[in-house]
Amino acid sequence: MSEPVPLIINNQNIQTKELFNVSNPSNGEFLWAVSSAGLTEVEGAAAAAEAAFPAWESLGYTTRRDLLLKAAHIIHDSREDIVTTLRKETAAGEGWASWDVDAAVATIKDAASHVSSNNGVIPPTNDSNDTALIFKVPYGVILSIVPWNAPGVLTMSSLAYALAAGNTVIVKSSELSPRTHFLLIDAFRRAGFPPGVVNLLTHAPDKGQLVTPALIQNKAIRKISFTGSSATGRVVAKLAGEALKPVVLELGGKAPAIVLEDATFNDAASGILKGAYGHGGQICMATERVIVLRSIEEPFVEALKAAHAAQSRDNTYHQPLISQSAMRQVNSLVEAAIKNGATIVSGPASFADEEGRVFGPTILRSVNTKSELYYKESFGPVISLFVVDTVDEAVRLANDTEYGLAASVWSKNIGNALRVAKRIHSGTIQINDSTTHGEPTLPHGGFGASGFGRQSGTDALAEFQSLKYVRFSLK
């Protein structure tokens, strides 16, 4: 793309005078210039989405469903270009980038499948001559603020269901993955979505404090969906609260993995590393804490070290983090933990490579409860290993966090694993699988500082619908 990456408002490419540059995190090389939205573009997108809503809401369900399916097919057919762009903008590996685009397609298809099953309710009334009809109705204009780390699936897990429910949408993309988001949103335009139904705004990194509040406070916006860090989520929630607008928050995590005595150690070790190191640990559901019973400490830790050594030899999870600031944050958390008494179980001699772009996957033990790494999301390939004496202690430690997004339990006995899983305060719990597992039909979301509301599946459709009832008498 020789021209700057544009915005999309009312199905038109919009170029702005103000631009910002995007570079490849792998090598720092310039990729492309990007149009930066300001208040004029905020007003334009809001007006376009608001004007498009009545016709989109009343559109027949078959047309809405077919448009979603067509967008999914276009993204599938454009897979190579989107994957290549995603890898350039975020330094994602081939496997992760391909999975993200494929998951985006699957998510849109799932959303399309719900369009024709939007059933209302006829509740009982006190008077037998009265009838009440409960309707599920769209909110209107949805603001969907989406991240860079999985731009495909994490965009579609809100956008596709909002559209399926009959809403129009403004997508505010990450400044770190603007062209990836442009290619994804352009697919809806190419599929034939009417002007104003899907709009895309991106802004320079230093314009967030101007653009985001203006969007949230705009009278056209009826609900907000935000995926990102807990810190930013608190800001979004405060702004939405001041405007009395509902919000869905999918935020950070500090996922624990509990390894029970009867676990298959090699399977648990490889699954835990996949959940911890995949995409450089830059996943909200990444495994950050591993809790093992003392009775199996030695054989399991040996299996974990062997799996770590194997991935190090093969460079399985060797990839740059998204930015130098991300590198500094992860490095600071690890170094501070070591100063506070943590020891290295497995890890590189130097955490960062010579260019300071790749943080070597690291396993630490004896992380002090006063260390930031104990309670703060690292968003890097770092595991904190804890050894406990009882299952009760393992559960207590797993729940000793403000987060509650994802967790895993490892055991050959599904009954035992299920009993433990039911005691963990988390929105998603995997038994004998990575904490990062997800599917379009499964509700994604958490508790506490991990946010509230759900994305994907039937529950996501409900997030973008409100209820109203009409009562009448047959007397």
Residue 459: alpha-carbon gap to chain centroid: 16
428 SS3 class:
strand
* Given the residues 250, 288, 377, 463, the one annotated as active site: 250
Helix 79-90 to helix 178-191 angle (10° resolution) is 160
**What is the rounded distance in angstroms from the CA atom of residue 452 to the CA atom of residue 462?**
13
How far is Cα 81 from Cα 43, in angstroms, rounded to an integer?
Answer: 31
Bridge-based pairing of strands 130-138 and 30-35 is unpaired
Which of 211, 171, 216 minimizes the C-alpha distance to 189?
A: 171
Using a 10 angstrom Cβ sphere, with 0-12 exposed, 13-18 middle and 19 or more buried, the burial of residue 336 is middle
Query: Would you list the DSSP string of 113-135?
Result: HHGGG---B----SSTTEEEEEE
Q: 211: burial class by Cβ within 10 Å (0-12, 13-18, 19+)?
A: buried
Query: What single DSSP character describes residue 6?
Result: P
Residue 89 appears among annotated catalytic residues: no
Phi and psi based region of residue 244 (left: phi greater than 0; alpha: psi -120 to 50; beta: remaining): left
CA distances from 350 to 16, 329, 359, 362 (A): 43, 15, 9, 10
Q: How far apart are CA 421 and CA 271, in angstroms?
A: 17
| Helix, strand, coil abundance in the chain, percent, nearest 5 | 45, 20, 35
Polymer length in residues for the chain: 475
Beta strands 255-259 and 287-293 are parallel
**What pairing do the DSSP bridges indicate for beta strands 19-23 and 141-145?**
unpaired
DSSP letter string over 369-387?
A: TTSHHHHS---SSEEEEEE
**108 and 78 in contact (C-beta within 8 Å)?**
no
**Nearest-angstrom CA–CA distance, 75 and 318:** 28
Q: Which residue has the tokens 């989406």?
A: 146
The set of catalytic residues is 250
